[in-house]
Amino acid sequence: MNKNVLTAVAIFLSFIPAARGDSSEEEVPSLFRQANALYAQGRYTEAADEYRRILREGWESGPLYYNLANAYFKTGNLGRAILNYRKAWNLSPQDPEINKNLEYAREALRDDIAALPLSLWTRVKRAVILQFPIGVWIGISSAFYFLTVLWLIAVLMIKPLKKISPPVWKTLGFLLALSVIVSVVAYNYYHTPRAIILDPTATIRYGPKETDAAAFELHEGTEVRVVRKKDGWLQISLPDGKSGWLPAESLGII
């Protein structure tokens, strides 16, 4: 569970600043060394506090969420461990350590929810878009867009290129259209609101009120899809088709 925890320098190099806070770039490696040292000493709660402090300063990365998840897992906080493994996975879906630890943590889940059968299209779509994070797909689309613009400029400036332009236009147009479609599908997939149950036991109700009848129960670590919000409550749905409402504070948004 701690393979990546001591690689502070490598982790820092992979950081993506989401929004700058009070810490300067020079302070971040120091914070990591402090958090990693606490983790190595078995002081997992304090290590988690330091990792959260870095997040509050506006920095995020797959390895940071991974380390925070490890610290939560060590303290027995399964819900928050899986929540942060999933956040790490969203940023680095092909990272083998993240995938391994996420699956390991899921083995402790109490809820066994059988998903409805997926269509062939859905299986193919997931297999394609999960090859890269959303940022990479957008980058690929941008690259084909700029290649198309550059080719247009080249054709306008170099007349002999007009003779070979038709097949090039077809190829560039096809690749650009395909990459844009995949990027849109990937964006929708990665940005579909999902959440993790944080309460040891959460009562799912038929409506967004404490007085509404209980429909079923879920337990910490279970992943759900968020359908909508109302008055501090969230309507969720499960892979088996069940749905219901629970207080927003019972969930951690991925």
Mean pLDDT by 10 residues, the chain (254 residues): 40 37 58 91 96 91 93 96 95 90 95 79 84 89 94 90 90 94 88 92 96 96 94 94 95 94
pLDDT at 209: 95
pLDDT at 116: 63
Distance CA 21, CA 192 (A): 27
pLDDT at 126: 82
Architecture of domain 194-253: Roll (2.30)
Residue 95, SS3 per DSSP: coil
Distance CA 88, CA 80 (A): 12
Which class in CATH covers the domain with range 8-106? mainly alpha
Residue 213, SS3 per DSSP: coil
Question: pTM value?
Answer: 0.70
229 phi/psi in degrees, rounded to 5 = -120, 150
Task: Give the residue extent of every domain in the chain.
Answer: 8-106, 120-190, 194-253
pLDDT at 5: 38
Distance CA 189, CA 205 (A): 26
pLDDT at 27: 64
Region label for 221, one of left (φ > 0), alpha (ψ between -120 and 50) or beta (otherwise) = left
pLDDT at 17: 38
